[in-house]
Chains A and B, each alone.
Chain A
């Protein structure tokens, strides 16, 4: 089409093309998830990775020896400059791609990636509003990029993360999140444990409910911009409950990762 937005002309990088990325680091984030860091080959001849915006994702393509390919989307956990692409992948038992990324892939392997993609489920420094983040499981990945960007910018708007996990050891980035909640005057953290809570935790484990959600989001009030990310049923429940509680749908942004939706 003729009317391609001007920003596309900034570099010769094309978000639709596949680019080789080298796996430079991979470590267990939880018993079932792995953090993977990739880097694009540094070469003046290759197009440069565009600036990342916190909340974006990439597509990853795997190719079998017979040429069969599989593509899945993965959010970036950091938008920091420097050319590193970081994500965390949760292994699904019957999954095609995630078991390979969590257990098969090695440092030094290459992956094909496409992107970065997304201009809506993103947080930019220009955003003055308080931000309420709500994550279920691996849905914390793009929200972590926002938290890190917010902290790196020493941004004055308050951020609050409500993070629902099955049990304490399933939480991604726990040490970093808890440290930040301790030292930063602009970041607060609420946990929800759905199957098993840490010992001494004041609430019995259970799914996030309307009361718990309301209690957490009331702190920042109705002016907050809300980002919700996780498996589809989780996002449906949270976004629906917020709208029923009178929140403006236009202030709620969602990213649905997939999973059973009953339809």
Chain B
């Protein structure tokens, strides 16, 4: 336990179950991005997965919409210390997207329109733990929150949930993505406070 701040009472008194260490709850939805918000139309949108042997599977928007859709309600945790509970998303599970992909890779690099990248262990993308989401709260995902579609990996800090995702490349190496090269953790588990290195 650190030192006390004389006179500071804080707003919330109850311990909040489900809140990782060092996080606080918000009701709004803060935006964090490295630059301008890319505007990508669903006509030009493509999403692809490339295996470590270079085989690429690509979906157009219509093909992606034709895949089995899942509605999920999850808690999300941003490294800047806000958490938001019970967020509702619609999207396609990575299990579905990875079904036809033959891979022995351990790591994935997500790449976005606009140039953003982030690395995620493949384990964190499988087993009903990750989606490519295109709706938030029942409405199309707004561009500033990553629309048309973003990665959703609620088990990790939210910078791993790449906005405007356009591809996932599988690899046997764990290369650092954008924030990971800029001081942020390679893994990013909020329960272990893997924030910065």
Contact = CB atoms under 8 A, between A and B. Distances in A.
Contacts of A119: 181-183
B interface, size bucket: 35 or more
A63 B183 contact: no
A153 interface: no
B197 A15 contact: yes
Interface in A245-263: 249-250, 252-254, 256, 258, 260-261, 263
Interface string A45-80: 000000000000001011111111111110000000
Given A120-B182, A236-B37, A100 B5 contact: yes
Interface string A87-105: 0000000001000100011
A16 B185 CA distance: 10
B34 to A, nearest CB: 6
Interface in B1-48: 1-13, 22, 24, 28-39
Nearest to A119: B182
Given A68-B10, A263-B145, A252 B5 contact: no
Interface residues of A, number: 55
Nearest to A2: B174
Contact of B2 (A5, A18, A249, A261): A18
B195 interface: yes
B30 A67 contact: no
B197 to A, nearest CB: 5
Given A1-B187, A117-B183, A96 B36 contact: no
Contacts of B12: 68
A3 B38 CA distance: 31
Given A70-B24, A119-B183, A261-B144, A256 B8 contact: no
Contacts of A110: 3
B9 A64 contact: yes
Given A67-B1, A119-B182, 7 more contacts: A1-B174, A20-B2, A73-B80, A100-B5, A243-B36, A250-B115, A253-B35
